């Protein structure tokens, strides 16, 4: 049986939706660029209503880079992660659409390359409003002169952060999932859930650690979409375990 195509977006066999709540364990700063009306030098990214949110690109970037690091460190034959910044070693370095897509590394099979789209989509994580005070606070920062090893002259700045304990809604969507690749996705999410992979900026200062609680996992097939039948609600723990088992089998050459 041949392996599924990397560029199988002309089909919609099934779709998985994973939802949960992301709560900041420490302060969080994802910069949004300072405007004329901002009261701080380094504000966080906000919606038009002024609520902080976490861009899906930030979430996806952390998970992808975590998986790339794991694959490279494991050194398992058959599980390869390309270097997207190296033109000669990137899966997306081809200029023609007839490039050998089957040769994509496992990370690009899941997250896409310059040639094909990603099978995984991270929605923007929006603030869960619970009343109470604003989830934003301002912190002082001082630039350091690396030569003199002292505070740089007149280089004080303000940083806006999301306070610890702030909750955001989380949603991950996967089209045409393969079980072992879903295991790879779970492996990339776990370090962020456990606080080892941080989000945003100033992570060396302790910012960006989060907790994640998954609350719902649903799967819908093409037949269910066409007939209007309800999607399947899956047990999160059992599904994660099955996907990790499929990844182990792939790594050991048993699949």
- Rounded distance between C-alpha atoms, residue 48 and residue 40, angstroms: 17
Q: Which H or E element spans position 53?
A: strand 53-54
Residues of the chain with pLDDT under 70: 1-4, 34-39, 87-89, 92-102, 141-155, 255
Q: Is 73 helix (H, G, I), strand (E, B) or coil?
A: helix
Alpha-carbon gap, residue 186 to 189, rounded angstroms:
5
Q: Alpha-carbon distance 130 to 167, whole Å? A: 9
CB under 8 A, 24+ apart: contacts of 39-45: 39/138, 39/158, 40/138, 40/158, 40/159, 40/160, 41/157, 41/158, 41/159, 42/141, 42/157, 42/158, 42/159, 42/160, 43/160, 44/136, 44/160, 44/161, 44/162
User: Left, alpha or beta for 208 (phi > 0: left; psi -120 to 50: alpha)?
Assistant: left
pLDDT for the residue numbered 104: 84
The answer to whether the CB of 25 falls within 8 A of the CB of 169 is no
- pLDDT tens digits for range 203-247: 988 899 999 999 999 999 999 999 998 899 999 999 999 999 999
What pLDDT shows up at residue 1?
Answer: 45
- Single out the residue of 164, 120, 111, 122 nearest to residue 20, CA to CA: 122
From start to end of 67-198, where are the E strands?
120-122, 125-126, 136-145, 150-162, 167-175
Closest by Cα among 235, 212, 178 to 8: 178
pLDDT at 222: 94
CA-based nearest residue to 199, from 187, 213, 186, 212: 212
The pLDDT value recorded for residue 82 is 87
């Amino acid at each position: 049986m041949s392996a599924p195509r990397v560029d199988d977006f002309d089909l919609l066999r099934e779709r998985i939706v994973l939802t949960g709540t992301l709560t900041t364990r420490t302060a969080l700063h994802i910069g949004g660029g300072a405007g004329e009306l901002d009261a701080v030098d380094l504000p966080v990214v906000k919606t038009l209503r002024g609520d902080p949110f976490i861009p899906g690109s930030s979430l996806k970037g952390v998970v992808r880079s975590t998986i790339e690091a794991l694959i490279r460190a494991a050194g398992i034959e058959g599980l390869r992660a390309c270097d997207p910044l190296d033109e000669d070693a990137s899966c997306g370095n081809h200029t023609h659409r007839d490039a050998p897509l089957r040769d994509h590394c496992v990370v690009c099979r899941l997250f896409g390359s310059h040639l094909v789209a990603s099978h995984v989509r991270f929605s923007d994580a929006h603030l869960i409003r619970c009343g109470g005070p604003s989830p934003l606070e301002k912190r002082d920062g001082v630039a350091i002169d690396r030569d003199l090893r002292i505070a740089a002259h007149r280089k004080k700045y303000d940083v806006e952060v999301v306070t610890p304990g702030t909750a955001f809604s989380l949603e991950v969507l996967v089209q045409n999932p393969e079980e072992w690749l879903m295991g790879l996705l779970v492996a990339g999410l776990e370090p962020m859930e456990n606080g080892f992979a941080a989000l945003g900026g100033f992570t060396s200062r302790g910012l960006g650690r989060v907790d994640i609680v998954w609350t719902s996992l649903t799967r819908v097939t093409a037949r269910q979409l066409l007939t209007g039948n309800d999607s399947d609600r899956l047990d999160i723990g059992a599904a994660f375990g099955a996907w990790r088992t499929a990844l182990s089998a792939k790594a050991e050459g048993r699949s």
